[in-house]
Structure 1
Protein backbone atom coordinates (compact mmCIF):
# COMPACT_ATOMS: atom_id res chain seq x y z
CA UNK A 1 0.00 0.00 0.00
CA UNK A 2 1.21 3.48 -0.81
CA UNK A 3 2.32 5.64 2.08
CA UNK A 4 -0.09 8.31 0.81
CA UNK A 5 -3.10 6.02 1.25
CA UNK A 6 -2.71 6.37 5.03
CA UNK A 7 -3.41 10.12 4.92
CA UNK A 8 -5.80 11.44 7.54
CA UNK A 9 -7.14 14.91 8.27
CA UNK A 10 -5.21 16.89 10.91
CA UNK A 11 -6.26 20.56 10.87
CA UNK A 12 -7.68 23.43 8.84
CA UNK A 13 -6.02 26.82 9.34
CA UNK A 14 -6.89 30.28 8.07
CA UNK A 15 -3.50 31.71 9.08
CA UNK A 16 0.05 30.41 9.20
CA UNK A 17 0.25 30.82 12.97
CA UNK A 18 -2.61 28.33 13.34
CA UNK A 19 -0.56 25.51 11.80
CA UNK A 20 1.29 23.02 14.01
CA UNK A 21 4.98 23.86 14.60
CA UNK A 22 7.27 22.77 11.74
CA UNK A 23 8.30 19.16 12.10
CA UNK A 24 8.20 16.18 9.72
CA UNK A 25 8.53 16.82 5.97
CA UNK A 26 5.59 18.55 4.31
CA UNK A 27 4.52 18.37 0.67
CA UNK A 28 2.12 21.10 -0.35
CA UNK A 29 -0.33 21.22 -3.24
CA UNK A 30 -0.80 24.61 -4.90
CA UNK A 31 -2.65 25.71 -8.01
CA UNK A 32 -5.19 28.09 -9.42
CA UNK A 33 -8.84 27.54 -8.55
CA UNK A 34 -10.55 24.77 -10.51
CA UNK A 35 -7.31 23.22 -11.79
CA UNK A 36 -8.19 19.85 -10.22
CA UNK A 37 -6.13 20.09 -7.03
CA UNK A 38 -8.65 18.40 -4.72
CA UNK A 39 -9.27 15.60 -7.22
CA UNK A 40 -5.52 15.01 -7.49
CA UNK A 41 -5.12 14.75 -3.71
CA UNK A 42 -8.07 12.38 -3.43
CA UNK A 43 -6.85 10.01 -6.13
CA UNK A 44 -3.25 10.02 -4.86
CA UNK A 45 -4.43 9.15 -1.35
CA UNK A 46 -7.01 6.68 -2.70
CA UNK A 47 -9.78 8.46 -0.78
CA UNK A 48 -12.93 9.95 -2.21
CA UNK A 49 -13.45 12.95 0.07
CA UNK A 50 -10.19 13.63 1.89
CA UNK A 51 -9.77 16.96 0.12
CA UNK A 52 -12.95 18.98 -0.25
CA UNK A 53 -13.76 19.77 -3.87
CA UNK A 54 -16.14 22.70 -4.19
CA UNK A 55 -18.18 23.33 -7.31
CA UNK A 56 -17.60 27.03 -6.68
CA UNK A 57 -13.99 27.88 -7.60
CA UNK A 58 -12.19 29.93 -4.98
CA UNK A 59 -14.45 28.85 -2.15
CA UNK A 60 -11.86 26.87 -0.20
CA UNK A 61 -9.95 29.51 1.79
CA UNK A 62 -8.20 27.36 4.36
CA UNK A 63 -4.90 25.54 4.55
CA UNK A 64 -5.85 21.90 5.08
CA UNK A 65 -3.21 19.59 6.54
CA UNK A 66 -3.31 15.79 6.31
CA UNK A 67 -1.01 13.55 8.34
CA UNK A 68 0.80 10.43 7.18
CA UNK A 69 1.15 8.08 10.18
CA UNK A 70 4.56 6.54 10.78
CA UNK A 71 4.01 2.74 10.63
CA UNK A 72 7.06 2.18 12.84
CA UNK A 73 6.16 4.75 15.50
CA UNK A 74 2.50 4.74 16.54
CA UNK A 75 1.21 8.21 17.29
CA UNK A 76 3.92 9.92 15.26
CA UNK A 77 3.68 11.51 11.80
CA UNK A 78 6.06 10.48 9.04
CA UNK A 79 5.06 13.58 7.09
CA UNK A 80 2.19 15.80 6.01
CA UNK A 81 0.32 16.69 2.84
CA UNK A 82 -0.79 20.32 2.78
CA UNK A 83 -3.64 21.55 0.59
CA UNK A 84 -3.20 25.30 0.01
CA UNK A 85 -6.11 27.56 -1.01
CA UNK A 86 -6.65 27.82 -4.75
CA UNK A 87 -5.53 31.14 -6.14
CA UNK A 88 -6.67 33.50 -8.83
CA UNK A 89 -10.44 33.20 -8.94
CA UNK A 90 -11.77 36.46 -10.40
CA UNK A 91 -15.01 36.55 -8.39
CA UNK A 92 -13.08 36.93 -5.12
CA UNK A 93 -12.61 40.55 -4.11
CA UNK A 94 -9.16 42.16 -4.29
CA UNK A 95 -8.63 42.31 -0.54
CA UNK A 96 -9.34 38.60 -0.22
CA UNK A 97 -6.96 37.83 -3.08
CA UNK A 98 -4.21 39.83 -1.40
CA UNK A 99 -4.86 38.06 1.89
CA UNK A 100 -4.51 34.66 0.19
CA UNK A 101 -1.33 35.83 -1.54
CA UNK A 102 0.19 36.68 1.83
CA UNK A 103 -0.69 33.27 3.25
CA UNK A 104 0.48 31.36 0.17
CA UNK A 105 3.68 33.35 -0.23
CA UNK A 106 4.51 33.15 3.46
CA UNK A 107 4.04 29.39 3.57
CA UNK A 108 6.00 28.71 0.38
CA UNK A 109 8.90 30.99 1.31
CA UNK A 110 9.21 30.52 5.03
CA UNK A 111 7.94 27.10 6.11
CA UNK A 112 11.13 25.23 7.10
CA UNK A 113 9.58 21.75 6.97
CA UNK A 114 8.37 22.17 3.37
CA UNK A 115 10.13 19.40 1.42
CA UNK A 116 8.51 19.76 -2.00
CA UNK A 117 5.76 21.53 -3.91
CA UNK A 118 3.13 19.95 -6.15
CA UNK A 119 1.97 22.62 -8.59
CA UNK A 120 -1.36 21.64 -10.15
CA UNK A 121 -2.10 23.08 -13.59
CA UNK A 122 -4.77 22.39 -16.22
CA UNK A 123 -2.82 20.96 -19.16
CA UNK A 124 -5.09 22.83 -21.59
CA UNK A 125 -4.32 26.24 -20.09
CA UNK A 126 -0.54 25.99 -19.84
CA UNK A 127 1.39 28.34 -17.57
CA UNK A 128 -0.76 31.31 -16.52
CA UNK A 129 0.40 34.66 -15.12
CA UNK A 130 -0.54 33.46 -11.64
CA UNK A 131 1.52 30.31 -12.09
CA UNK A 132 4.48 32.49 -13.07
CA UNK A 133 4.05 34.58 -9.94
CA UNK A 134 3.97 31.44 -7.84
CA UNK A 135 7.18 30.26 -9.51
CA UNK A 136 8.81 33.59 -8.60
CA UNK A 137 7.98 32.91 -4.95
CA UNK A 138 9.39 29.40 -5.21
CA UNK A 139 12.57 29.88 -7.24
CA UNK A 140 14.71 31.41 -4.45
CA UNK A 141 13.86 28.57 -2.07
CA UNK A 142 15.41 25.91 -4.29
CA UNK A 143 12.72 23.44 -3.27
CA UNK A 144 11.85 20.71 -5.78
CA UNK A 145 8.63 21.14 -7.74
CA UNK A 146 6.38 18.51 -9.30
CA UNK A 147 3.97 19.95 -11.86
CA UNK A 148 0.84 17.86 -12.31
CA UNK A 149 -0.70 18.72 -15.67
CA UNK A 150 -4.26 17.70 -14.88
CA UNK A 151 -7.03 16.68 -17.26
CA UNK A 152 -4.42 15.10 -19.52
CA UNK A 153 -7.06 12.72 -20.84
CA UNK A 154 -8.54 15.69 -22.73
CA UNK A 155 -5.52 15.78 -25.07
CA UNK A 156 -4.07 13.12 -27.40
CA UNK A 157 -0.67 11.75 -26.44
CA UNK A 158 1.37 13.92 -28.81
CA UNK A 159 -0.21 17.14 -27.53
CA UNK A 160 0.34 16.02 -23.94
CA UNK A 161 4.07 15.66 -24.55
CA UNK A 162 4.25 19.06 -26.24
CA UNK A 163 2.47 20.59 -23.25
CA UNK A 164 4.94 18.98 -20.85
CA UNK A 165 7.91 20.31 -22.84
CA UNK A 166 6.41 23.80 -22.95
CA UNK A 167 5.88 23.88 -19.17
CA UNK A 168 9.42 22.64 -18.47
CA UNK A 169 10.84 25.35 -20.72
CA UNK A 170 8.74 28.16 -19.27
CA UNK A 171 9.36 27.23 -15.63
CA UNK A 172 13.04 26.38 -16.07
CA UNK A 173 14.03 28.97 -13.44
CA UNK A 174 12.62 26.66 -10.77
CA UNK A 175 15.59 24.34 -11.22
CA UNK A 176 14.55 20.97 -9.79
CA UNK A 177 11.34 20.64 -11.80
CA UNK A 178 9.43 17.58 -12.98
CA UNK A 179 6.28 17.88 -15.12
CA UNK A 180 3.89 14.93 -15.39
CA UNK A 181 0.69 14.55 -17.46
CA UNK A 182 -2.02 13.65 -14.96
CA UNK A 183 -5.65 12.59 -14.94
CA UNK A 184 -7.58 11.62 -11.82
CA UNK A 185 -10.44 10.10 -13.82
CA UNK A 186 -8.27 8.10 -16.24
CA UNK A 187 -5.52 7.38 -13.67
CA UNK A 188 -2.74 8.86 -15.80
CA UNK A 189 0.52 9.75 -14.05
CA UNK A 190 -0.53 8.52 -10.60
CA UNK A 191 2.37 6.11 -10.05
CA UNK A 192 5.01 8.64 -11.11
CA UNK A 193 3.52 11.39 -8.96
CA UNK A 194 3.21 9.06 -5.97
CA UNK A 195 6.86 8.03 -6.24
CA UNK A 196 8.04 11.66 -6.23
CA UNK A 197 5.94 12.63 -3.21
CA UNK A 198 6.86 9.53 -1.21
CA UNK A 199 10.54 10.16 -1.89
CA UNK A 200 10.29 13.74 -0.62
CA UNK A 201 8.66 12.57 2.60
CA UNK A 202 10.65 9.43 3.23
CA UNK A 203 13.46 8.50 0.79
CA UNK A 204 13.73 5.10 2.45
CA UNK A 205 10.16 4.07 1.67
CA UNK A 206 10.06 1.10 -0.67
CA UNK A 207 6.97 1.08 -2.95
Structure 2
Protein backbone atom coordinates (compact mmCIF):
# COMPACT_ATOMS: atom_id res chain seq x y z
CA UNK A 1 0.00 0.00 0.00
CA UNK A 2 1.27 3.45 -0.90
CA UNK A 3 2.04 5.86 1.94
CA UNK A 4 -0.19 8.32 0.10
CA UNK A 5 -3.21 6.21 1.01
CA UNK A 6 -2.88 7.42 4.62
CA UNK A 7 -3.11 11.07 3.61
CA UNK A 8 -5.44 13.21 5.73
CA UNK A 9 -6.77 16.75 5.47
CA UNK A 10 -4.58 19.13 7.47
CA UNK A 11 -5.47 22.78 6.92
CA UNK A 12 -6.95 25.32 4.50
CA UNK A 13 -5.46 28.78 4.19
CA UNK A 14 -6.27 31.90 2.21
CA UNK A 15 -2.85 33.50 2.79
CA UNK A 16 0.69 32.16 3.06
CA UNK A 17 1.15 33.31 6.64
CA UNK A 18 -1.71 31.01 7.65
CA UNK A 19 0.22 27.92 6.53
CA UNK A 20 2.21 25.82 9.00
CA UNK A 21 5.94 26.32 9.25
CA UNK A 22 7.81 24.91 6.25
CA UNK A 23 9.49 21.89 7.80
CA UNK A 24 8.80 18.78 5.68
CA UNK A 25 8.67 18.20 1.89
CA UNK A 26 5.62 19.54 0.08
CA UNK A 27 4.33 18.54 -3.34
CA UNK A 28 1.92 21.05 -4.85
CA UNK A 29 -0.73 20.50 -7.52
CA UNK A 30 -1.34 23.37 -9.89
CA UNK A 31 -3.30 23.82 -13.10
CA UNK A 32 -6.21 25.49 -14.80
CA UNK A 33 -9.59 25.44 -13.09
CA UNK A 34 -11.46 22.19 -13.74
CA UNK A 35 -8.38 20.36 -15.05
CA UNK A 36 -8.78 17.60 -12.46
CA UNK A 37 -6.53 18.53 -9.53
CA UNK A 38 -8.90 17.35 -6.82
CA UNK A 39 -9.69 14.13 -8.69
CA UNK A 40 -5.97 13.40 -9.07
CA UNK A 41 -5.30 13.93 -5.37
CA UNK A 42 -8.24 11.72 -4.44
CA UNK A 43 -7.19 8.80 -6.63
CA UNK A 44 -3.54 9.08 -5.55
CA UNK A 45 -4.68 8.94 -1.93
CA UNK A 46 -7.16 6.15 -2.76
CA UNK A 47 -9.97 8.20 -1.20
CA UNK A 48 -13.17 9.54 -2.70
CA UNK A 49 -13.63 12.85 -0.91
CA UNK A 50 -10.25 13.89 0.47
CA UNK A 51 -9.97 16.87 -1.86
CA UNK A 52 -13.10 18.84 -2.66
CA UNK A 53 -13.92 19.26 -6.33
CA UNK A 54 -16.27 22.18 -6.91
CA UNK A 55 -18.91 21.79 -9.61
CA UNK A 56 -18.29 25.44 -10.46
CA UNK A 57 -14.77 25.93 -11.88
CA UNK A 58 -12.82 28.71 -10.22
CA UNK A 59 -14.65 28.52 -6.89
CA UNK A 60 -11.81 26.91 -4.93
CA UNK A 61 -9.93 29.87 -3.51
CA UNK A 62 -7.90 28.30 -0.72
CA UNK A 63 -4.59 26.54 -0.37
CA UNK A 64 -5.57 23.09 0.91
CA UNK A 65 -2.90 20.97 2.60
CA UNK A 66 -3.13 17.22 3.12
CA UNK A 67 -0.70 15.50 5.45
CA UNK A 68 1.08 12.26 4.58
CA UNK A 69 1.68 10.60 7.99
CA UNK A 70 5.10 9.39 9.02
CA UNK A 71 4.89 5.55 9.29
CA UNK A 72 7.07 5.64 12.42
CA UNK A 73 4.96 8.34 14.07
CA UNK A 74 1.52 8.76 12.51
CA UNK A 75 0.80 11.82 14.64
CA UNK A 76 3.33 13.72 12.54
CA UNK A 77 3.37 14.42 8.82
CA UNK A 78 6.36 13.29 6.77
CA UNK A 79 5.16 15.49 3.91
CA UNK A 80 2.21 17.35 2.43
CA UNK A 81 0.18 17.29 -0.76
CA UNK A 82 -0.88 20.86 -1.49
CA UNK A 83 -3.86 21.75 -3.68
CA UNK A 84 -3.38 25.29 -4.99
CA UNK A 85 -6.21 27.46 -6.40
CA UNK A 86 -6.93 26.85 -10.07
CA UNK A 87 -6.16 29.61 -12.53
CA UNK A 88 -7.55 30.99 -15.76
CA UNK A 89 -11.30 30.73 -15.31
CA UNK A 90 -12.76 33.56 -17.36
CA UNK A 91 -16.00 34.25 -15.47
CA UNK A 92 -14.21 34.99 -12.19
CA UNK A 93 -13.78 38.71 -11.53
CA UNK A 94 -10.44 40.13 -12.67
CA UNK A 95 -9.41 41.41 -9.24
CA UNK A 96 -10.17 37.99 -7.71
CA UNK A 97 -8.12 36.22 -10.39
CA UNK A 98 -5.21 38.54 -9.67
CA UNK A 99 -5.48 37.87 -5.95
CA UNK A 100 -5.39 34.11 -6.53
CA UNK A 101 -2.42 34.54 -8.86
CA UNK A 102 -0.56 36.43 -6.14
CA UNK A 103 -1.18 33.66 -3.62
CA UNK A 104 -0.22 30.93 -6.08
CA UNK A 105 2.88 32.77 -7.25
CA UNK A 106 4.01 33.61 -3.75
CA UNK A 107 3.69 29.98 -2.67
CA UNK A 108 5.74 28.74 -5.62
CA UNK A 109 8.32 31.49 -5.12
CA UNK A 110 8.65 31.56 -1.34
CA UNK A 111 7.76 28.16 0.09
CA UNK A 112 11.11 26.75 1.21
CA UNK A 113 9.86 23.18 1.69
CA UNK A 114 8.50 22.80 -1.85
CA UNK A 115 10.00 19.54 -3.16
CA UNK A 116 8.10 19.10 -6.42
CA UNK A 117 5.38 20.59 -8.59
CA UNK A 118 2.62 18.58 -10.26
CA UNK A 119 1.41 20.62 -13.23
CA UNK A 120 -1.90 19.28 -14.55
CA UNK A 121 -2.73 19.84 -18.22
CA UNK A 122 -5.81 18.62 -20.08
CA UNK A 123 -4.38 16.19 -22.65
CA UNK A 124 -7.03 17.28 -25.17
CA UNK A 125 -6.13 20.97 -24.96
CA UNK A 126 -2.37 20.74 -24.60
CA UNK A 127 -0.25 23.54 -23.15
CA UNK A 128 -2.22 26.78 -22.89
CA UNK A 129 -0.73 30.27 -22.71
CA UNK A 130 -1.26 30.33 -18.94
CA UNK A 131 0.40 26.93 -18.56
CA UNK A 132 3.33 28.18 -20.61
CA UNK A 133 3.69 31.34 -18.58
CA UNK A 134 3.65 29.36 -15.36
CA UNK A 135 6.26 26.95 -16.73
CA UNK A 136 8.50 29.85 -17.73
CA UNK A 137 8.21 31.23 -14.22
CA UNK A 138 8.94 27.86 -12.58
CA UNK A 139 11.93 26.92 -14.76
CA UNK A 140 14.58 29.15 -13.11
CA UNK A 141 13.74 27.79 -9.64
CA UNK A 142 15.08 24.35 -10.52
CA UNK A 143 12.18 22.67 -8.72
CA UNK A 144 11.32 19.37 -10.47
CA UNK A 145 8.03 19.32 -12.35
CA UNK A 146 5.75 16.38 -13.12
CA UNK A 147 3.33 17.28 -15.92
CA UNK A 148 0.22 15.12 -15.68
CA UNK A 149 -1.78 15.02 -18.89
CA UNK A 150 -5.22 14.53 -17.37
CA UNK A 151 -8.25 12.85 -18.95
CA UNK A 152 -5.92 10.58 -20.93
CA UNK A 153 -8.72 8.01 -21.20
CA UNK A 154 -10.35 10.34 -23.73
CA UNK A 155 -7.60 9.64 -26.29
CA UNK A 156 -6.30 6.40 -27.85
CA UNK A 157 -2.81 5.24 -26.94
CA UNK A 158 -1.10 6.61 -30.05
CA UNK A 159 -2.47 10.10 -29.47
CA UNK A 160 -1.35 9.96 -25.84
CA UNK A 161 2.20 9.21 -26.96
CA UNK A 162 2.08 12.14 -29.34
CA UNK A 163 0.71 14.41 -26.61
CA UNK A 164 3.63 13.49 -24.33
CA UNK A 165 6.06 14.39 -27.10
CA UNK A 166 4.32 17.70 -27.80
CA UNK A 167 4.09 18.78 -24.16
CA UNK A 168 7.70 17.79 -23.48
CA UNK A 169 8.75 19.96 -26.42
CA UNK A 170 6.56 22.87 -25.31
CA UNK A 171 7.92 22.81 -21.76
CA UNK A 172 11.54 22.12 -22.67
CA UNK A 173 12.70 25.13 -20.65
CA UNK A 174 11.97 23.14 -17.49
CA UNK A 175 15.11 21.09 -16.95
CA UNK A 176 13.73 18.62 -14.40
CA UNK A 177 10.54 17.66 -16.24
CA UNK A 178 8.67 14.39 -16.58
CA UNK A 179 5.42 14.04 -18.55
CA UNK A 180 2.88 11.29 -17.81
CA UNK A 181 -0.54 10.62 -19.39
CA UNK A 182 -2.97 10.38 -16.49
CA UNK A 183 -6.60 9.46 -15.87
CA UNK A 184 -8.29 9.49 -12.47
CA UNK A 185 -11.22 7.57 -13.94
CA UNK A 186 -9.27 4.73 -15.57
CA UNK A 187 -6.22 4.98 -13.25
CA UNK A 188 -3.89 5.50 -16.19
CA UNK A 189 -0.42 6.54 -15.04
CA UNK A 190 -1.36 6.12 -11.38
CA UNK A 191 1.52 3.87 -10.30
CA UNK A 192 4.19 5.92 -12.06
CA UNK A 193 2.81 9.17 -10.67
CA UNK A 194 2.62 7.73 -7.17
CA UNK A 195 6.27 6.65 -7.31
CA UNK A 196 7.41 10.10 -8.43
CA UNK A 197 5.54 11.88 -5.63
CA UNK A 198 6.59 9.41 -2.93
CA UNK A 199 10.23 9.84 -3.95
CA UNK A 200 9.87 13.61 -3.62
CA UNK A 201 8.38 13.30 -0.15
CA UNK A 202 10.67 10.51 1.02
CA UNK A 203 13.71 10.08 -1.29
CA UNK A 204 14.89 7.02 0.64
CA UNK A 205 11.68 5.16 -0.18
CA UNK A 206 12.10 3.29 -3.48
CA UNK A 207 8.55 1.93 -3.54
Provide the TM-score with structure 2 as the length reference: 0.98
1:107 CA displacement = 0.5
Q: Does 1:198 align with 2:198?
A: yes
Residue 54 (structure 2) aligns with: 54
> Aligned with 2:106: secondary structure?
helix
1:180 CA displacement = 0.2
In structure 2, stretches of 5+ residues that fail to align are none
Structure 1 runs (4+) greater than 4 angstroms displaced = none
Residue 70 (structure 2) aligns with: 70
Once residues 53 and 137 of structure 1 are traced to their aligned partners in structure 2, the CA distance between those partners, rounded to angstroms, is 26
Residue 100 (structure 1) aligns with: 100
Residues 5 and 45, structure 1, Cα contact 8 Å, conserved in 2: yes
Residues 62 and 85, structure 2, Cα contact 8 Å, conserved in 1: yes
1:74 CA displacement = 3.8
Once residues 5 and 74 of structure 1 are traced to their aligned partners in structure 2, the CA distance between those partners, rounded to angstroms, is 13
Once residues 42 and 172 of structure 1 are traced to their aligned partners in structure 2, the CA distance between those partners, rounded to angstroms, is 29
Q: Does 1:25 align with 2:25?
A: yes
Matches for 1:1-207 after TM superposition, within 5 Å? 1-207=1-207
Provide the TM-score with structure 1 as the length reference: 0.98
Once residues 34 and 116 of structure 1 are traced to their aligned partners in structure 2, the CA distance between those partners, rounded to angstroms, is 21
1:116 CA displacement = 0.1
> Aligned with 1:64: secondary structure?
strand
In structure 1, stretches of 5+ residues that fail to align are none
Once residues 37 and 163 of structure 1 are traced to their aligned partners in structure 2, the CA distance between those partners, rounded to angstroms, is 19
Q: Number of residues paired by the alignment?
A: 207
> Aligned with 1:76: secondary structure?
strand
Cα RMSD (Å) of the superposition?
0.8
> Aligned with 1:75: secondary structure?
strand
Once residues 73 and 174 of structure 2 are traced to their aligned partners in structure 1, the CA distance between those partners, rounded to angstroms, is 35
Once residues 171 and 74 of structure 1 are traced to their aligned partners in structure 2, the CA distance between those partners, rounded to angstroms, is 38
1:110 CA displacement = 1.2
Residues 32 and 86, structure 1, Cα contact 8 Å, conserved in 2: yes
